[in-house]
């Protein structure tokens, strides 16, 4: 996702705080180099954690015979995913389709929760976690000819105003999560790979509203039974998203990151000037409570990106991140 210049953010923030107007051109210090010499007061950057207004999340789950253990792993991680979404206070829709295009009950259709008969969960569902888990319990009797790409196109294009009506919203971002231990075999019968990438890239007014995440076999495969998900990875690389290996023992980090990404929550925050590294102090304020964080334990400063990244903590929506530091000078 393209970010505004850290220096531009500083100027805008400073003007907003003082209520002043720009009076002339200002030369920004180059990122990666020292600030102009002279005595400088400590710099404090104050950054608000914002979440996406709304997002639609589509899980695309392989339901062929080899997917039993992987479906169990996914279901164990879905509570963390929804917790991250709820923590972002985002207006979400989360639904599930399979990679089976042979069964007419699947073929791009959102899979109904057999208890509530819901086709997707949203903030109004009283117990969204078990509902989503039941939706995702697809079993392993699906077609061995996995066609994830065709299923996605059918779900979001062909059936968007029919069987899947109400799920995808024009003003919401879209986050697609594919879980499969085989590559995509959609071929060109419905939509070829280059055409799919072009269609998905233009599915929303701007590409920042689209991400395609792959929990699939890595390049070369693994375990001798998991095939590399090369076509899914190609879409992730082209459109943007989180690539993860289905061969990992658990997906704690991957699913949490997907939840944070879908909710629009950031864990990396950019400084507006170049700091003296040893003097960086980071704290977060939320609801009148201040929490301090320890360098190299709770967060890492990246000199190349001139940013701090939390190692385990995700500031919730509405929280304010403070970064205080001495300015590096010649």
Which residues constitute the domain of residue 301? 6-49+266-325
- What would you report as the CA-atom Rg of the chain, rounded to the nearest whole angstrom? 22
Q: Which of 263, 285, 306 is the last residue of a domain?
A: 263
Q: What is the per-residue pLDDT for 199?
A: 97
3 state SS of 190: coil
In a domain, 124, yes or no: yes
In a domain, 303, yes or no: yes
In a domain, 34, yes or no: yes
Residue 37 pLDDT level (bands cut at 50, 70, 90): low
Determine the length of the chain: 330
In a domain, 1, yes or no: no
Q: Where are the alpha helices (DSSP H) in 60-203?
A: 68-87, 128-136, 148-153, 193-201
Same domain? For 39 and 104 the reply is: no
Total-model pTM: 0.73
Which of 205, 211, 171 is closest to 54 using CA atoms? 171
Same domain? For 282 and 180 the reply is: no
d(CA 101, CA 45): 51
Q: For residue range 104-142, what is the model confidence (pLDDT) as tens digits?
A: 999 999 999 999 999 999 999 999 999 999 999 999 999
Does residue 186 or residue 328 have the better pLDDT?
186
Which of 59, 73, 67 is closest to 111 using CA atoms? 59
Q: What is the per-residue pLDDT for 19?
A: 40
Average pLDDT over residues 289-318: 91
Average pLDDT over residues 30-54: 72
Position 25 pLDDT exceeds 60? no
Same domain? For 244 and 109 the reply is: yes
Domain count, the chain: 2
Position 3 pLDDT exceeds 90? no
Q: Which of 263, 283, 314 is the last residue of a domain?
A: 263
Same domain? For 69 and 217 the reply is: yes
Which of 139, 152, 49 is closest to 97 using CA atoms? 152
Q: For residue range 258-278, what is the model confidence (pLDDT) as tens digits?
A: 887 787 778 889 999 999 988
d(CA 62, CA 138): 8
Position 48 pLDDT exceeds 70? yes
Position 88 pLDDT exceeds 90? no
Same domain? For 106 and 227 the reply is: yes
What CATH number is given to the structural domain containing 110? 3.40.50.410
Same domain? For 146 and 164 the reply is: yes
Q: With beta carbons less than 8 A apart as the criterion, state whether 273 and 329 touch.
A: no
Burial of 34 (0-12, 13-18, 19+ CB in 10 A): middle
Lowest mean pLDDT among 37-41, 281-285, 320-324: 37-41
Strand partners, 286: 289
Q: What is the per-residue pLDDT for 317?
A: 78
Same domain? For 161 and 302 the reply is: no
In a domain, 330, yes or no: no
Same domain? For 66 and 20 the reply is: no
Q: What is the per-residue pLDDT for 165?
A: 97
Same domain? For 156 and 36 the reply is: no
Q: Which of 241, 263, 285 is the last residue of a domain?
A: 263
Structure tokens at 187: 């071929």
Structure tokens at 14: 């400073």
CA 11 to chain centre: 28
Same domain? For 121 and 222 the reply is: yes
Does residue 71 or residue 224 have the better pLDDT?
71
Position 318 pLDDT exceeds 60? yes
Q: With beta carbons less than 8 A apart as the criterion, state whether 43 and 65 touch.
A: no
Q: For residue range 191-233, what is the model confidence (pLDDT) as tens digits?
A: 999 999 999 999 999 888 899 999 999 988 887 789 999 999 9
Same domain? For 69 and 109 the reply is: yes
Residue 148, CA atoms < 13 Å, CB-side half-sphere? 28
**Helix-strand-coil split of the chain, %, nearest 5:** 25, 25, 50
Same domain? For 103 and 246 the reply is: yes
* Average pLDDT score over the chain: 86
Position 155 pLDDT exceeds 90? yes
Q: What is the per-residue pLDDT for 35?
A: 60
Residues in Cβ contact with 213 at an 8 Å cutoff, skipping those fewer than 6 apart: 175, 176, 177, 178, 236, 241, 242, 243, 244, 258, 261
């Amino acid at each position: 996702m393209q970010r505004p210049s850290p220096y531009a953010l500083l100027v805008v923030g400073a003007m907003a705080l003082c209520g002043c107007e720009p009076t002339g051109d200002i030369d920004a210090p180059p990122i990666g180099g020292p600030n102009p010499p002279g005595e400088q007061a400590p710099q404090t950057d104050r950054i608000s954690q914002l979440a996406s207004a709304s997002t639609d999340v589509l899980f695309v789950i392989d339901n062929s015979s080899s997917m039993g253990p992987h479906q169990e792993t996914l279901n164990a991680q879905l509570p963390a995913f929804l917790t991250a979404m709820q923590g972002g206070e985002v207006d979400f829709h989360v639904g599930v389709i399979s990679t089976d295009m042979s069964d007419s009950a699947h073929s791009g259709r959102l899979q109904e929760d057999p208890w509530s008969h819901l086709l997707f969960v949203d903030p109004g569902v009283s117990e969204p976690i078990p509902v989503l888990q039941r939706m995702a319990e697809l079993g392993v009797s699906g077609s061995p000819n996995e066609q994830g790409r065709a299923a996605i196109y059918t779900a979001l294009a062909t059936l968007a105003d029919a069987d899947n009506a109400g799920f995808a919203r024009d003003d919401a971002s879209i986050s697609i999560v594919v879980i499969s231990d085989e590559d995509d075999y959609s071929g060109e019968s419905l939509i070829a790979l280059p055409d799919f990438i072009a269609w998905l890239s233009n599915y929303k007014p701007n590409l920042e509203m689209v991400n395609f995440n792959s929990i699939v076999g890595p390049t070369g495969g693994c375990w001798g039974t998991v095939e590399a998900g090369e076509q899914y990875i190609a879409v992730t690389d082209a459109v943007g998203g989180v690539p993860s290996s289905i061969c990992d023992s658990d997906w704690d980090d991957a699913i949490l990151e997907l939840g944070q990404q879908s909710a629009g929550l950031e864990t990396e925050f950019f400084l507006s000037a170049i700091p003296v590294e040893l003097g960086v102090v980071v704290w977060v304020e939320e609801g009148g409570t201040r929490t301090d964080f320890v360098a190299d334990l709770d967060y890492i400063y990246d000199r190349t990106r001139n940013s701090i990244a939390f190692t385990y903590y995700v500031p919730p929506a509405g929280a304010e991140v403070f970064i205080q530091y001495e300015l590096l000078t010649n």
